[in-house]
Structure 1
Amino acid sequence: MAIFTTDNTWVLIFGVLGNIVSIVVFMAPVPTFCRICRKKSTEGFESVPYVVSLFSAMLWLYYASLKSESSAFLLLTVNSVGCAIETIYIALYLTYAPKQARMMTLTLLLLNFGGYCSILLLSHFLAKGSARVQLVGWICVALSAAVFAAPLSVIRMVIRTKSVEFLPFSLSFFLMLSAVTWLLYGLFLKDLYVAGPNVLGVIFGVLQMALHAIYRKRDKVVAEEEKNDTSVGKLSSDTQSCNGHAFIIFIEASDKGPVAPPSEV
């Protein structure tokens, strides 16, 4: 148990909680892949979220391996699990994806591997000791900030349609909870590279919770009206008129299961 030794009990508590919550988030796409395996088809799902999640987990794994603190073990565990889960998702996707989607996924994986190796080599030859930790830390912060900014397109869609139908409450809740736990972990550990990007995660999580509170009741009213309406649903026409790529992804994910959330650690 020496690997869990830490001078700050709160670091251990929030690190363990962060591991538990993050693994729940990593497991969110399981229903999606059960459906894919059952139907032996990816049905238009895209592999980008899973590849990005894998790349993010790999970078944080490298960052954690550079840390000297024993409490960094908690970063190692969660991102090791994340790498394993995302690898399984991608393997299943490649098994059932059509040729064009499979080739695109393999290309993304090649870019993923090339980018990761480049970061490893550059950080190894351009920086030493604490400078290397800082360099890799800032790269992880930049990637995490981009990942946390991704829900902006969904938030914009929710405000536009005044509906949270395509913003799953459970996923939003666990993503926010994960951001809160890792934010506190980073603060107690005094690791700004971990805490910094999770500030964005908490902000976007609170915003999504607020949208649920505002528009959830309206969705119930609309659902009741649609029961008595035999006309063609308005949703399909709204979907066709939207040019936002992320919007289409979330439309598909709502109907068939959640997309993979990128690693937020």
Structure 2
Amino acid sequence: MANFSFILGIIGNVISILMFAAPIKTFKRIMKKKSTEDFKGIPYITTLLSTCLWTFYGLLKPGGLLVVTVNGSGAILHIIYVTLFLIYAPEPLKIQSMKLVAIIDIAFLGAVIAITLVAVHGTTRLTLVGFLCAALNIGMYAAPLAATRTVIKMKSVEYMPFFLSFFQFLNGGVWTAYAVLVKDYFIGVPNGIGFILGAAQLILYFMYYKSSPTKSTEEKGSAHLMKREIQMKDVNGAHENENSRNLHKWKSLPKPSLVRQYSEKLVKTLSNTPSSLGSHNVHDIEKGLKEAH
């Protein structure tokens, strides 16, 4: 039984490290776009606190080597994640996240370690830290649920990474089985809850996965809109050119009012001025002008 629990612990270590490494893809995207977009910082801040406390718990617990190795690795990775999030977050979110890091990951963690080592003695240390770790582990598993509101609102799983939810589901299941074998309820209870929450996240993911726009669909849509816009510009440009030509042609024609004024003046002048043309010629001029109209 002891050998089987050790094997489960090794499997749990591998799955936990894969779970802790799952956000690497997310942070590659953040670094590429130089923006945290709609990603939430809470999961990484709370997980950093959880992994640090579990490392401390493993150091206090006899035979807690497997707990130390996996959570120590997770703590290092989450220090990197939180740092990158603070670098690329917009100013209001950056200030809010820095306050959370200062309160949760520095002040609270430091206070717990100091009080445990100075004011608490014997097995009470392990019990106190165990309760805190269990509560924070539940918070770590529940933290990605903060993205579910965005998922339901946008009907898209773009901002809820699949592998993070998937490995949380596996991690919770394996560590629950390990805890049952070694009779450690501080590990078993939070991981059992994490197993259930991970399953809920996966169900939500598959509910909205098909309705999420893929990259190729977005690119095709953008290209179609651009092509349509160019075609509309060409059509509008052709109409504008045709209209401008017609307008210019119309402007180049003599205005009827001016022709009429000059014709009336010319007829009046010819009729009042004696000349060798005679009345017959004047009548011919009037007739020609009327035809010109």
CA offset at residue 104 of structure 1? 2.6
Partner of 2:181: 188
CA offset at residue 127 of structure 1? 2.3
Instruction: Tell me how far apart the structure 1 counterparts of residues 25 and 95 of structure 2 sit (CA, whole Å).
Output: 24
Partner of 2:61: 67
CA offset at residue 158 of structure 1? 7.2
CA offset at residue 21 of structure 1? 0.8
Instruction: Tell me how far apart the structure 2 counterparts of residues 92 and 152 of structure 1 sit (CA, whole Å).
Output: 21
Instruction: Tell me how far apart the structure 1 counterparts of residues 147 and 37 of structure 2 sit (CA, whole Å).
Output: 21
Partner of 2:239: none
CA offset at residue 39 of structure 1? 2.6
CA deviations 1:119-140 (Å, max 9, x no partner) are 1122234421211101110111
The answer to whether the 8 Å contact 1:165/1:219 transfers is no
CA offset at residue 29 of structure 1? 1.4
- Amino acid in the other structure paired with 2:193: L
Residues 46 and 165 of structure 1: CA distance in aligned 2, closer, same or farther (over 3 Å): closer
**2:26 paired with 1:32:** yes
Choose 198-207 or 177-186, whichever is displaced more.
198-207
Instruction: Tell me how far apart the structure 2 counterparts of residues 204 and 125 of structure 1 sit (CA, whole Å).
Output: 36
Matched residues, number: 216
Q: Which has the larger radius of gyration?
A: 2
Instruction: Tell me how far apart the structure 2 counterparts of residues 188 and 163 of structure 1 sit (CA, whole Å).
Output: 39
**2:129 paired with 1:136:** yes
Q: Identify which of structures 1 and 2 has the higher relative contact order when contacts are C-alpha pairs closer than 8 Å and 6+ apart.
A: 1
CA offset at residue 169 of structure 1? 4.6
Q: CA RMSD in A?
A: 3.2
Choose 131-140 or 43-52, whichever is displaced more.
43-52
CA deviations 1:175-213 (Å, max 9, x no partner) are 111101111111112111011111111222334455567
- Amino acid in the other structure paired with 2:126: V
CA offset at residue 81 of structure 1? 0.6
Residues 138 and 77 of structure 1: CA distance in aligned 2, closer, same or farther (over 3 Å): same
Partner of 1:241: none
CA offset at residue 26 of structure 1? 1.1
The answer to whether the 8 Å contact 2:45/2:82 transfers is yes
Partner of 1:104: 96
Residues 201 and 45 of structure 1: CA distance in aligned 2, closer, same or farther (over 3 Å): closer
Instruction: Tell me how far apart the structure 2 counterparts of residues 157 and 39 of structure 1 sit (CA, whole Å).
Output: 20
Partner of 2:267: none
CA deviations 1:188-246 (Å, max 9, x no partner) are 12111011111111222334455567x479759x99xx99xx9xxxxxxxxxxxxxxxx
- Amino acid in the other structure paired with 1:73: L
Instruction: Tell me how far apart the structure 2 counterparts of residues 218 and 97 of structure 1 sit (CA, whole Å).
Output: 29
Instruction: Tell me how far apart the structure 2 counterparts of residues 105 and 76 of structure 1 sit (CA, whole Å).
Output: 27
Partner of 2:170: 177
The answer to whether the 8 Å contact 2:30/2:88 transfers is yes
The answer to whether the 8 Å contact 1:60/1:75 transfers is yes
CA offset at residue 154 of structure 1? 6.0
Unaligned runs of 5+ in 1: 1-6, 231-265
Residues 8 and 212 of structure 1: CA distance in aligned 2, closer, same or farther (over 3 Å): same
| Percent identity over paired residues | 36
- Amino acid in the other structure paired with 1:171: L
User: Of residues 73, 76, 81 in structure 1, which corresponds to 2:68?
Assistant: 76
Choose 89-98 or 56-65, whichever is displaced more.
89-98
User: Helix, strand or coil: the match of 1:103?
Assistant: helix
- Amino acid in the other structure paired with 2:95: M
**1:142-157 to 2 correspondence within 5 Å?**
142-150=135-143
Q: What's the TM-score, normalizing by structure 1?
A: 0.69
Partner of 1:14: 8
CA deviations 1:94-115 (Å, max 9, x no partner) are 3333443333332222112110
User: Of residues 116, 121, 135 in structure 2, which corresponds to 1:123?
Assistant: 116
- Amino acid in the other structure paired with 1:87: I
**Larger fraction in helix:** 2
